[in-house]
Amino acid sequence: MKVGTKSLLFGAHNIFIHPFLVFIAWWRLYGFPADPRLWVAFIVHDWGYLGKPNMDGPEGETHVELGARIMRIFGRRWEEFTRHHSRFHSRRDDARPSRLCYADKLALCCEWEWFYLFRTRITGELKEYMALSANGKYSCKEYMNRSIETPQSWYRAVKSFTLRYVAQNYRYGHR
């Protein structure tokens, strides 16, 4: 089974846990998500990881397309809203990240460290994320200012960066 599928079944993007955490993060950032289309976006935005051999490689970066296609049933604006939860796709399209991007990022900070690390360890995601961090894939490395040699130190560094990143940018997300 490929890592993207494992992520959806029991990893960082679990189809039950992750949407709930995105819901909580949205509520913290923007207030209660009363629009039911938001709830659909929370659920489907990462479904494109299904069958992907990596999370942040060339294939994994295309994961936004499935959720965006699903959300198009609500109109082009909702398609773009979902596609631009990815900073990679936002840069590619010369667009601002959507509000979903910031809620999605903050979701990592809304769960227990041990639970996140357990789930990402058993799926293989953690190994990929830590290797990519060590090789400079993520722009947050320059802000981490701490050792990321253990899963715990890596998670804490990512969480610290994520909290700063979201606090500095969440107001500018499009809807």
SS (H, E, C) 14-49: CCCHHHHHHHHHHHHHHCCCCCHHHHHHHHHCCHHH
HSE on the CB side for 139, CA within 13 Å? Answer: 6
Checking if the pLDDT of 175 tops 70, the result is no
Range of the domain at 38: 1-169
Residue 87 lies in a domain: yes
Checking if the pLDDT of 147 tops 70, the result is no
- Percent of the chain topping pLDDT 70: 90
Average pLDDT over residues 30-35: 97
Residue 174 lies in a domain: no
| 79 token code pair | 């398609």
- pLDDT tens, position by position, 72-101: 999 999 999 999 999 888 888 998 999 999
Residue 43 lies in a domain: yes
Q: Which alpha helices (H) appear in 31-173, and where do they start and end?
A: 36-44, 64-71, 76-83, 87-92, 99-107, 113-123, 125-134, 141-144, 151-169
Residue 72 lies in a domain: yes
Checking if the pLDDT of 145 tops 90, the result is no
**Residue 166, CA distances (Å) to 106, 132, 137, 149, 162 in order:** 7, 21, 19, 24, 6
Q: Which amino acid is located at 31 in the chain?
A: G
What's the pLDDT at 90?
Answer: 87
CA–CA distance, 61 with 65 (Å, rounded to integer)? 9
Query: C-alpha dihedral over 73, 79, 82, 86, to 10 degrees?
Result: 150
pTM for the whole thing?
0.92
Question: Considering its fold, how many domains does the chain have in total?
Answer: 1
Residue 175 lies in a domain: no
- Percent of the chain topping pLDDT 90: 76
Q: Which of 30, 173, 41, 29 is nearest to 96 (CA)?
A: 173
Residue 6 lies in a domain: yes
Checking if the pLDDT of 142 tops 60, the result is no
Residue 48 lies in a domain: yes
CA–CA distance, 124 with 35 (Å, rounded to integer)? 35
Residue 151 lies in a domain: yes
